[in-house]
Structure 1
């Protein structure tokens, strides 16, 4: 096991086995009752409201008009050449940030038609990076060529952006050829950032042999890996459960005086060991990182809570919660999802519901992960009526549910033997714009088989065979 300098310390106070999060009173709302006005008064109020809306609209017209006029010009009057620079550049940057690559390229073409346009390398690089994120490497290459044709200076940053576009799409032959080109181009030598981006893509596609080759090449080229490089390796090796590679990378990182472990290093290591159930090793690593002066953040505690919760170690999970409360670590949506799921697994419905109420009182909006955890918790406790209450909550809220949630709902009803309710999930899915997938039908088939209802199984197998086929709805 890798060790960090310093003595081991216990990061948590002794857990209180009787610890419960204190109940909080739900604030009561006071409703003011108004007398209904007569017809004349109602008419006057309606007119006044209409006038107020008109005034508000006039006040906002300068902002709205500018934005709407820009959109109209961009979409319908592409040939105009008298647009203000700020207007077009604002529209371009909005689309780049939103990864709306098709619209961004249209705006860029409009930009190039303006009389005041001057080629700008920074804009080209931003567009190429965006196209890489959108898995459009060929279009990124076309922009790179246009950049050269317009006389922009091609440097290490622009080459790295293009290399990233190809590597993000798994086109490593092209990415490595760009790397070779960079080495042979003056003032464009690949740096640690270039190598780190390529290494990250190789790790994403599990091309571990290519990673070792790149690391060796970095050494031969005199490019030293930095903390980001090592953290990328540690995180990827941990997620792939390649613990030997992960530990050897951490050892190599500690040998480098310029590369010091940080909280990202700690979180990646804890996630790797905790996620694989190696709780003792995770705790030893945590103590060593603390003794090395690395301070935990909310992600660290979320990892610890998740690891303890999934291994049923509720005593230590409670200790982490106490520690967070003592040192005022604010809970996030992820924190609530973890603890709600843990108490649901433990069958503690009252505590699970309390945490859900507490979450709402802090104005943290639940997501599908939250709802799935609640459904599983109720199913674990055999409380079908509670699931009905949760469905009424969803109907009255603006929480968006998806197929994954409905699959969880199908599984919960099937587990409890509520087959009528399970069957009723299908039309409910349709009403929410969600389509059943293979998981939906297989879960239902399993439930019907367990209850000896072979006639329903035959029908569902037919539906399962048509999932994903173009004529499945005809």
Structure 2
């Protein structure tokens, strides 16, 4: 079962050159000298002796733009080379640059060049995943080959490569990687078969997965997980009858359907807003002696809230409590969101401040994000900022990009794109060393255009492309129209050229 490998597509050339990439700023120089992601770490006012070793290295890779530039800057930096590299430090750096493949690969190659350091499988797997996520497939395969030569490829590595191929629309290449498992010293067994089938089903290639399964099952015995993969796959492409038939097939192979099997179908009906059928499946679960769990109920509850059936959603929450379900962080995050959308902010605060601690359920980053988003939704930005400060000082969890997005959006909405807005951006990059992702860049570019600050928006647009993130056509078009209206014709021409290559 060998599939022809299609030629990997080349990425669209960047608009900006490496010299310009060093001068991107998160604000207009006409208003104030604001620091930004590429400059913020080079501030002479910052006491670098107080930085951790990870922060010191991060500060050195923010200025250059190309991979080779990053490697050279680190190789020639005495302070970086005086730091003893450990695996945890390198893994931390790769996590830090998970949305910036050039910086991640630059750090990876620099660490590889050090005589006192050797990458382990975890480091390789991380760079493989970062490259695959950013669709740098050729480079990803070079790294995989290097791992193969060193006998470091694991099933986890293969899973990452297959998923990234499938996610980029190259499912045949995912199958080819499976076909070549033997070259990496790995077996084709139930576990590896399930990884391939799961990869294909999640990429909506369920029929192809089914054909491969029918061929493989002659030599590889399926298990319950195999059938659950197909139940999820059929539901994903809207063929719930096939999913229900798979439950019967599952029983025929001596595998008992579990909560996951039924909950997947419940989720499908909820996505279709067919709650009567969802409730029927819940009844079937109880009849089969397979009681719905917290995940099942939370799925129904969240879906009802999405359909703005808040009262029904809260009834499910009460049902969970009366059934003695173990309430977890995921449940409480959903409950807080529902209460917030229903306008019951006080009750949401009580859940966060009283009920969760009483039940010994710790909040996570998503909990804080939900609370921050709720306050911003109800125009209570100061409470959101106070909660962010509490989150930062709690030590329980750290803010991420999604923590800041509602706050940035609120600033744009209220026309506050100066001090508060700039401080939030500075804190993201300077204090928490967060790498802006596609959604944040899109939010900023769109918001700044509407705030009549298209020069700033264009700088962010350039920075976005310089990091290998491809803007959506809608974003390009909006920015194009704004800069043209401001008679920035050279910029408009560059954006137009970029759109033609999309």
Q: Same fold, TM exceeding 0.5?
A: yes
1:213-243 CA-to-partner distances (Å, cap 9, x unmatched) read 3234334545331122223333344345443
Q: Partner residue of 2:410?
A: 377
Helix, strand or coil: the match of 1:312? coil
Matched, 1:108 2:143: no
Task: Report the equivalent of 1:353.
Answer: 385
Q: Is the 8 A contact 1:426 1:436 kept in 2?
A: no
Distance 1:180 1:396, change over 3 A: closer
Shift of residue 323 of structure 1?
Answer: 1.8
Partner of 1:20: none
How large is the Cα RMSD of the aligned pairs?
4.6
Provide the residue aligned with 1:307 in structure 2: 338
Does the 8 Å contact 1:132/1:162 carry over to 2? yes
Aligned equivalents of 2:186, 2:479: Cα separation in 1 = 60
Structure 1 residues 465, 403: closer, same or farther in 2, change over 3 A?
same
8 Å contact kept, 1:345–1:380: no
Work out which of the residue numbers 383, 394, 400 in structure 1 matches 2:435. Answer: 400
Instruction: Please report how far the alpha carbon of residue 158 of structure 1 lies from its aligned counterpart in structure 2 after TM superposition.
Output: 4.5
1:281 maps onto 2:312 in alignment = yes
Q: How many angstroms apart in 1 are the aligned matches of 2:203 and 2:470? A: 29
CA offsets 1:136-175 (integer angstroms, 9 cap, x no match): 7555655665668999986544543443344344333332
Instruction: Quickly say closer, same or farther: Cα 1:128–1:284, change in 2 above 3 A.
Output: same
Contact 1:137/1:162 (8 A) holds in 2:
no
Which residue of structure 2 aligns with residue 231 of structure 1? Answer: 263
CA separation in 2, counterparts of 1:406 and 1:154?
Answer: 42
Q: Paired residue for 1:256?
A: 288
Task: Summarize deviations over 1:155-203 as a string: whole Å, max 9, x none.
Answer: 54454344334434433333222333455x37x4433211111222333
Question: Do the aligned residues in 1 keep the contact of 2:476 with 2:499 (CA within 8 Å)?
Answer: no
With 389-398 and 146-155 compared, the bigger mean Cα shift is at 146-155
Contact 2:240–2:268 (CA under 8 A) maintained in structure 1:
no
**Structure-2 change in CA distance of 1:231 and 1:404 (3 Å):** same
Q: How many residues align?
A: 380
Q: Is the partner of 2:409 in helix, strand or coil?
A: helix
> Equivalent residue for 1:171?
205
Note if contact 1:409-1:422 (Cα within 8 Å) is conserved in structure 2.
Answer: no
Post-superposition offset of 1:126? 5.3
Residues of 1 paired with 2:156 and 2:375: CA distance?
Answer: 45
Distance in 2, matches of 1:370 and 1:441, equals: 25
CA offsets 1:306-352 (integer angstroms, 9 cap, x no match): 12223433233233223224445332221121111211121222212
Name the structure 2 match of 1:198: 230
Q: Quick one: distance in 2 between partners of 1:302 and 1:359?
A: 15
| More displaced stretch, 145-154 vs 209-218 | 145-154
Report the Cα distance in structure 1 between the residues aligned to 2:178 and 2:216, rounded to whole angstroms: 14
Tell me how far 1:276 sits from its aligned partner. Answer: 2.0
Q: Report the TM-score, using the length of structure 1 for normalisation.
A: 0.65
Q: What is the alpha-carbon distance in structure 1 between the residues aligned to residue 213 and residue 403 of structure 2? A: 44
CA distance in 2, matches of 1:231, 1:391: 40
Aligned residue runs from structure 1 range 40-119, under 5 A? 91=120, 95-96=124-125, 99=128, 102=141, 103-111=143-151
Normalising by structure 2, what TM-score?
0.62
Q: Are the counterparts in 2 of residues 133 and 165 from structure 1 also a CA contact under 8 Å? A: yes
Gaps (5+ residues) in structure 2? Answer: 1-46, 48-78, 91-107, 130-139
Query: How far apart are the structure 2 equivalents of 1:96 and 1:335?
Result: 29
Q: Could you list the runs of 5+ residues in structure 1 that have no partner in the other structure?
A: 1-31, 33-51, 65-70, 77-86, 113-122
Q: What whole-Å deviation, never above 9, does each CA across 1:352-376 have from its counterpart, x for those lacking one?
A: 2211211221244333322221122
Tell me how far 1:285 sits from its aligned partner. 1.0
SS state at 1:424 partner: helix
Pick one of 299, 308, 329 that aligns with 2:361.
329
Structure showing greater relative contact order (alpha-carbon pairs closer than 8 Å, 6 or more residues apart)? 2
Judging changes above 3 Å, is the alpha-carbon distance between structure 1 residues 190 and 372 closer, same or farther for their aligned structure 2 residues?
A: same
Distance in 2 of aligned mates of 1:380 and 1:55: 46
User: What is the CA distance between 1:444 and its match in structure 2?
Assistant: 5.8
> Would the alpha carbon gap of residues 456 and 108 (structure 1) be closer, same or farther in structure 2, given more than 3 Å must change?
same
Aligned position for 1:119: none
CA contact (8 A) 1:131 1:139 kept: no
**Contact 2:458–2:479, Cα closer than 8 Å, also in 1:** no
